[in-house]
Chain A
């Protein structure tokens, strides 16, 4: 039975639950908007990293360079799209 529950997976699961609890603090505790948003950003991206590396085995095969390049390329374009659009439609929009 024990070999079916490897430490890596179990720890990853516990860690992701922990991150969820930390994220939840922005709801249950009283804190400023910027602190709360920072907590959310940090927990969400660590959580994504845990899934990617621990659970999805992104780095295990001969293609890990391609896989990481794809992911980071997508991520950087995604962030540029999000913030560029916010700049165009809200922050920099004058009307």
Chain B
């Protein structure tokens, strides 16, 4: 029995037991359901073993939506707890766990995969490629992310959740102050999914640099592709820092080293330093693709070409470089001298310049445009003022001396939600709606989508603007409760109300998927939005091979050229198409990494050794495997194209 005691929850409550039951029931329901409908074969052949970038993209997005609700439940619990003074819905420990998992889940397992999912689906289509550079690696990336996310969520019911904040600062995260295995979960879940993300980064840089359609020079790439390229550059150079920081944290907690302790030469603030060397670029990993999505949508629905293409590109290049030079602003109050703080204050505020350029470019794109107020466009229009407010408060926080006032207050919480929600969440929802017909061949209902948009935007303002005020009045972040005398009560109640509206919006979005699946017409054509870039030049939904013949491009708006300027995209005859084979190895490796992480968390060394051997066995299998893929014959291509009604291409 002693062996099993380590898996017990150190601090149980009825809520946790209820979620154990819920997780159990849902798992059983899924297994029974799949067995009943005899879908195991379909699931394995079509999804778990796929190396198709489109299916991997969809799996990323589904996982991200699931995690959105997981993290959203945390958010509602936090707002409920702080809705009234001295509430006792959650105790201090649970509140700590909830804000920790909310942060990690939303950043690492919701926003990132949502964006990587869209990238997976769209980027190869936008550049006219058949797939990514390394399809098998892409599948491994996904499964590492997925099993990392599952590992993290397991902490809730096995062993206890991490409770030291998503920033996981030491000494709070050390064994002494976080004695449960929670922080071990944090270390390994992030490590495993982080390795997956790093491989995605390498994969997409190679794809974008080497696999573009003929004629598509770098400065003729669609803006979302540019944004993705630079995002992946940041990923490749930022994630190794996290890898090392997590290794050091793991060593401290599990092998008794003195990196982040306060004795024998340890230095707890070094964690904060390394964490933010990764963590600040991470913010730009989230926002740059969002900028790309907005650029596509604003240009499409203003029915004008994007204003200032070159300045858009260069501002993103600058942002990608600057993003590595500002990390210290997350701990201005740590105790550096004024000179050091000033340097990082200047670099921080300097980032506002390229970002400002982009804002003006979007506004000038809309100027004199014939704007169509579709759901994606509504999100994009709302993004501009809301994000500007978030950016301006960011500049306030970036001034080192003033930051002593704002540091660790609700003002900061309001600021970063103000950039992340209108910046990233609106963007992925806009992109989700915009590219939905590309993925599934029908449109999402506009009316329900607009309702969701209004609920989300108004809910957002109500939920987060009050925090600016309570923050300036001195409400600290991460405090599980406050006394009535502080006067924070009414504004926090308003916040809770806003959070409720946002929750309704997300339910509406899911309902919209269901409703549109049932009722939307299926004959929307290849180009339902009258769009401009290459991904709309193939069919909806996209055939397995993307493009029957490689398109030839002469500007960043290849489809527009074809529609308005008589440019001919497809000039070649059909040829045999080479495709990669599917493989079960990536999924198996994901499972093995899951076992590896889980065993390491609980220091079950036999499991660690066996799963590590398994992982190496997979790699050896791969290197000896002779897999040359398969070919789709010209006849098959013709049949598929005729089925889609596009044989003329």
Contact = CB atoms under 8 A, between A and B. Distances in A.
A6 interface: no
A93 B327 contact: no
A67 to B, nearest CB: 10
B280 to A, nearest CB: 11
Interface in B166-205: none
B335 A81 contact: no
Contact of B237 (A74, A85, A89, A93): A74
Interface in B261-284: 267, 269-270, 273-274, 277
B277 A94 contact: no
Contacts, number: 50
A4 B515 CA distance: 70
Nearest to A87: B340
Contacts of B270: 89
A84 B335 contact: no
Interface residues on A, range: 10 to 19
Given A63-B210, A73-B237, A77-B237, A84 B325 contact: yes
A92 B237 contact: no
A92 B337 contact: yes
Nearest to A92: B340
Contacts of B26: none
Contact of A80 (B209, B233, B269, B324): B324
A93 B336 contact: yes
B625 to A, nearest CB: 26
Contacts of A28: none
Interface in A52-71: 63, 66
Interface string B316-339: 000001001101100000111101
A57 B618 CA distance: 31
Given A74-B237, A80-B324, A94-B336, A63 B209 contact: yes
A73 B270 CA distance: 24
Interface in B334-354: 334-337, 339-341, 343-344
Given A74-B237, A77-B237, A95-B335, A85 B277 contact: yes
Given A87-B343, A92-B336, A92-B339, A81 B269 contact: no
A14 interface: no
A73 to B, nearest CB: 7
B170 to A, nearest CB: 14
A88 interface: yes
A64 B26 CA distance: 52
B241 interface: yes
Contacts of B340: 87-88, 91-93
Contacts of A66: 209
Nearest to B339: A92
Contacts of B324: 77, 80-81
Given A88-B328, A88-B340, A92-B337, A81 B277 contact: yes
A50 B328 CA distance: 35
B248 to A, nearest CB: 13
Interface in A10-30: none
A44 B341 CA distance: 31
A95 B274 CA distance: 19
A87 B339 CA distance: 10
Nearest to A81: B277
Contact of B273 (A88, A91, A94): A88
A33 B261 CA distance: 31
Nearest to B327: A84
A84 B348 CA distance: 14
A38 B512 CA distance: 65
A81 B321 CA distance: 12
A92 B270 CA distance: 14
A74 to B, nearest CB: 6
A93 B210 CA distance: 45
B335 A94 contact: yes
B569 to A, nearest CB: 25
B328 A93 contact: no
Most A CB within 10 A of own CB, among B241, B325, B335, B340 = B340
Nearest to B323: A77
A95 B334 CA distance: 9
A12 B325 CA distance: 36
B113 to A, nearest CB: 25
A94 B343 CA distance: 16
Contacts of A80: 324-325
A85 B339 contact: no
A89 B327 contact: no
Contacts of B334: 88, 93
B509 to A, nearest CB: 38
A93 B336 CA distance: 4
Contact of B335 (A63, A74, A93): A93
Nearest to B328: A88
A93 B337 CA distance: 6
Contacts of B210: 63
A80 B280 CA distance: 14
A80 B339 CA distance: 16
A77 B240 CA distance: 12
A87 B342 CA distance: 12
A38 to B, nearest CB: 24
24 contacts: A66-B209, A74-B237, A77-B321, A81-B241, A81-B324, A84-B344, A85-B277, A87-B336, A87-B340, A87-B343, A88-B273, A89-B269, A89-B270, A89-B273, A91-B340, A92-B336, A92-B340, A92-B341, A93-B334, A93-B335, A93-B336, A93-B337, A94-B335, A94-B336
- A-B interface, 3 closest residue pairs, ranked by CB to CB distance from nearest: A92-B340, A92-B336, A77-B324
Given A63-B209, A92-B337, 15 more contacts: A63-B210, A73-B237, A84-B277, A85-B273, A85-B277, A88-B273, A88-B328, A88-B340, A91-B340, A92-B336, A92-B341, A93-B336, A93-B337, A94-B335, A94-B337
Interface of B: 209-210, 233, 237, 241, 267, 269-270, 273-274, 277, 321, 324-325, 327-328, 334-337, 339-341, 343-344
Interface of A: 63, 66, 73-74, 77, 80-81, 84-85, 87-89, 91-95
